Amino acid sequence: MTTITDKVLEPYYVSKDNHGYTIHEVITPDVKNLEEGSEGKNYIKAISHPSTFGGCLKRIAELKVNDGSEYTSIKEYLKQYKQIANEIEKSFNVEL
């Protein structure tokens, strides 16, 4: 299996095996909401299985813009998405 990580993609990363690509998210538990005696260890959650690496980058941009933020207009939402996509495109010299 190949694992592809980068600061620009965090908290997500990509893995590739014989079956294709998988986007994973590193989940950091909110320590103040843990039950007494529970450990606050990070865990990994499989998110999506795009068919191409470019599809992985595009999906990560979508995930990052849909992080629970509230947008007051479509224009604001699209502006944030484009900003995230541009950061990924510029970092990796790819087009989303």
Q: pLDDT tens, 15-56?
A: 999 999 999 999 988 766 556 555 678 899 999 999 999 999
**Could you give the C-alpha distances from 12 to 23, 27, 73, in angstroms and in order?**
7, 9, 26
| The overall pTM is greater than 0.85 | no
Domain that holds residue 79: 2-92
State how many domains the chain has. 1
Mean pLDDT of 71-83: 95
- Cβ proximity of 17 and 1 under 8 Å: yes
